Every structure is written in C-alpha cells, then in structure tokens.
Amino acid sequence: MSKITTAINLLKHKRGEFFASILTYFNFLFPDKLYLSLLFRLKMGYWMDWNNPKTFSEKLQWLKFYDRKPEYTTMVDKYAVKEYVAKIIGEEYIIPTLGVWDRPEYIDWDKLPQKFVLKTTHGGGGSGVVICKDKTTFDKNDAIKKLKKSLNECIYKSLREWPYKDVDRKIIAETFLEDTFSHTSDYDLKDYKFFCFNGQPEFCQVISGRSNEMCVDFYNMEWSHQPFHEPKDYPFSVIEHDKPFCINEMSRMASILSKGFSFLRVDFYEIENKVYFGELTFFPTSGYGGFNPNEWDYKFGEMIKLPFDN
C-alpha cells in the first residue's frame, strides 16, 4: 500500500470517528436499529446488512438488536456475574470481593489492603477500572474522579449494548492479582479471552503489556499463533506466549459457560497455575474493532450461527 493510499485511508478513518462522536452525542434522537446502522457505517466504512449479515462485526450488531434475554444483564454485571458463574463452575474460580459501595465517596479506604482493584459494575473494557499497587502513594481523589465519570457513562446509550442498560451501578473492590510466575519485571498479568461459538472455544485472545504497550495475540486451541489482529490496530507481542499451564481447564470452563450462546467471550486469568474468572463479553470492542487482514472478519462471522444461517 502506497503512502498516499495510507494517508487517504487514515483521513477517512478520522472523519468517520469524528462524525461517530457527533452521532453518539445525539444518541437519544435515534431508535436502536437506525442508530446501530449509522454508527456501523461511520466506524466500519460500509453499511450493515441486517437481512444477510456476513462478517463478525455485522453479526454482533444483529445480536445486539435481536438477541435479548433478561439474564444477559446479570452476565455483564461485574458484581452479579460472580454468583452466576460460581453456581455453574464453582466458587474457587471467583476473584474475592473486598467491598461494594453505591458511590465512590462511600469507599472505606482504611479497610482495603495495600493493593487492590476498583471497578464500576456496569463498565465495559477498561472503563471504570482503577488499580492500586501501593496505597501509600495512591491518589484517592483521582480514583474518585475516574469512578464518578464511569458511573455517569452508559454503554447502552453510546453503543446500544442493551445488557448494560439495567445494570445496578455500584463500585466493587477486588483482590489485586499478581502473576509472580511472569518473566517480566512488573509481573505482567495476561488476560486469556476465549472466543466461543455455540459452546465451543475456537480461539484464545491473549492481552499482554497493559503496564507498557498493550499487545493482542490470538492462538488456536492447539496453541498455534494466528496471523491476524483484532482489534486491527494493536500490535503482536514481541515474543510468542508460552502455552498456559491451565489451558485445558480454562477451555473446559469456557465451554461450560458459553453453552447455548451463538457467541460469548469468556475471560480468565492464570495466577501461579490457578485459574480465576474474569468476565463474560457478548460484544468485543462492541463489534467495531475490525480485523487485519479483513478476511478474518468473514471467517469469524461464519462461526456465528444466526437463526437463518444454514
């Protein structure tokens, strides 16, 4: 690709993101389906085909609009999902909760340990996550500011991820997980995110380098590194990741938790050869992350079986 073509594509992308930001500001003016269609066009560069979606990105939008079950709200609630998951695979996989509060001003800082993690129950991705590695130097005011901002945000309004619409907004504190088996100096904690289709894990997405430069890699279930990026703009890790000691256990738990769903991403951590549940995600990057090469958007799309698919 020439430099001129690259520059043109970059300008188109920035223009699309600019108009998408305007659209999200006026989100209250649009019904769900029209809003999703417009946002998809601005972010992805082509129109959503509601009658015959083909790509992974399209099918996630279709599921947003048509696949609505009340239990999905529990499954995306970062507090309520713990009990949901514990009943299915066991309490031993759940990260301990240290406290729950309605507002950041109510947090009892004195009862928290030196290291902990704060989360808003309705936040998606890294939204509303505050990590404390040393309470003696921790900026409480900055944490309160970030948590307040998160509590006022709504993924349903901006991205139409309807399961988040009725999540009971709270703040939870969790035990800080630290991977002392990591080969990096900061004990880089990796996320193992299993992309599951109809209860079958097909790929594991590994997120690493959050404390420096975040890298995203995909492996198949035989732990062979895959030649694509998703989201498309994130780099591969410089070195390939070793196969997790608990890969079979994580894969089995992911299969159990995703049974009966057209698509569900199930996240785990592995700490000193022990598995901890992370979260459940119906719409990774809300379906706008894109793939590089783009052909994988279609390959992933083929694995999601909608009611009218053969």
The CATH number assigned to the domain holding 285 equals 3.30.470.20
Tokens for 171?
């703040």
55 CB neighbour count, 10 Å cutoff: 25
The dihedral sign for the CA sequence 30, 32, 35, 39: positive
Tell me: do 105 and 133 sit in the same domain.
Answer: yes
11 pLDDT exceeds 60? Answer: no
Give the domain-ending residue among 129, 157, 178. 178
Tell me: do 152 and 222 sit in the same domain.
Answer: no
Question: Considering the entire predicted model, what is its pTM?
Answer: 0.91
Tell me: do 87 and 121 sit in the same domain.
Answer: yes
What pLDDT was estimated at residue 25?
A: 84
Tell me: do 21 and 88 sit in the same domain.
Answer: no
Tell me: do 63 and 98 sit in the same domain.
Answer: no
Which range has the top average pLDDT, 3-12, 115-124, 276-285?
276-285
Q: What is the domain range of residue 124?
A: 78-178
Tell me: do 288 and 189 sit in the same domain.
Answer: yes
Tell me: do 149 and 24 sit in the same domain.
Answer: no
Query: pLDDT, tens digit, for every residue of 137-167?
Result: 999 999 999 999 999 999 999 999 999 999 9
Tell me: do 25 and 131 sit in the same domain.
Answer: no
128 Cβ contact partners less than 8 Å away, ≥ 6 residues apart: 119, 120, 122, 146, 147, 150, 151, 153
pLDDT band of 13, cuts 50, 70, 90:
low
Query: pLDDT, tens digit, for every residue of 135-145?
Result: 999 999 999 99
Query: pLDDT, tens digit, for every residue of 226-282?
Result: 999 998 889 999 989 999 999 999 999 999 999 999 999 999 999 999 999 999 999
Tell me: do 127 and 266 sit in the same domain.
Answer: no
Tell me: do 11 and 108 sit in the same domain.
Answer: no
Tell me: do 167 and 216 sit in the same domain.
Answer: no
187 pLDDT exceeds 60? Answer: no
| Average pLDDT of the segment spanning 86-113 | 97
2 pLDDT exceeds 60? Answer: no
Tell me: do 191 and 298 sit in the same domain.
Answer: yes
Alpha-carbon span 234 to 236, nearest angstrom: 7
- The closest alpha carbon to 127, from 174, 84, 171, belongs to 171
pLDDT band of 7, cuts 50, 70, 90:
very low
* Residues of the chain above pLDDT 70, percent: 92
Alpha-carbon span 166 to 154, nearest angstrom: 10
| Amino acid, res. 305 | K
Q: How many domains does the chain have?
A: 3
31 CB neighbour count, 10 Å cutoff: 8
